[in-house]
Amino acid sequence: MTEKNTHFGFKEIPISEKTERVAEVFDSVATRYDHMNDLMSGGLHRLWKRYAIELLSVKPHERILDLAAGTADLSRLIARNLSDEGLLITSDINANMLAIGRNRLMDAGHLKPIHYAQINAEQLPFQADTFDAITIGFGLRNVTLQDVALAEMYRVLKPGGRLLVLEFSRVKSPVLKSLYDTYSFKVLPILGKLVANDADSYQYLAESIRKHPDQDTLKGMMQTVGFRQCRVANLLGGIVAIHRGWKIL
């Protein structure tokens, strides 16, 4: 039996290769990641993240897992709302990104109650019913087996717990889509070359957005693994979407 393929941007590659290929991308962009995010979005990504955490409504005592945390923007916003009775686990599959995120959290004075873990979202090393909330910001599209990862998130959430997915999504307006495609495939790789000396990685990141499930498809995937009361909030015409779902038994 031949190995199945998956997408890496617009390319088709064996499933077994994707995790390593994605790791190479983020190893390459890690040190310039935040600067590029500000340039690419005009700083809007910070507003999107703040709004997402407002929707999460963190309570001081909660146990929260931040997956694909990267440079820890969501983790910093979450940590502000936690007391010493709460717990935040900041995690990423990429060691370089996780190290940068940890340093940024420590520089911001967030020393506890935060733990750090290098984690693959498809194989969460936690017991069932552990967390009150899970977040994953701009990371789900880089996960090879997204349905497996969503099922794992559902498993480790407590009954009544919620998942929040912040991710690029499908643009609704044809006019905006045309402008967005031009920016993504013409301007973004040039920025990647000039600022990060890496046009190829930013070409992949633009392509990965187009291969990511659209709003309704991702909502359906969440429902399939068990999430209920799933909600979708589109930002900037659907360029970004926030998906939320609850574990209700």
Domains and CATH numbers, the chain: 42-166+213-246 (3.40.50.150)
pLDDT-derived band at 3, boundaries 50, 70, 90: low
How far is 124 from 106, CA to CA, in rounded Å? Answer: 24
How far is 244 from 164, CA to CA, in rounded Å? Answer: 5
How far is 154 from 161, CA to CA, in rounded Å? Answer: 9
pLDDT of residue 128: 98
Q: Can you tell me the mean pLDDT for 5-17?
A: 87
* Burial class of residue 212 in the structure, from the number of CB atoms within 10 Å of its CB (0-12 exposed, 13-18 middle, 19+ buried): buried
Ramachandran sector of residue 168 (left: φ over 0; alpha: ψ -120 to 50; beta: rest): beta
Pick the most confident of 112-121, 162-171, 197-206.
162-171
Higher pLDDT pick, 243 / 19? 243
Local structure of residue 68 (DSSP, 8 states): T
Quick check: 2 pLDDT over 70?
Answer: no
pLDDT-derived band at 202, boundaries 50, 70, 90: confident
| pTM greater than the 0.85 cutoff | yes
Quick check: 1 pLDDT over 60?
Answer: no
pLDDT of residue 195: 76
Strand pairing category for 5-8 and 11-14: antiparallel
- Beta-strand ranges (E) seen in 42-183 are 63-67, 87-92, 114-118, 131-137, 157-168
How far is 56 from 102, CA to CA, in rounded Å? Answer: 22
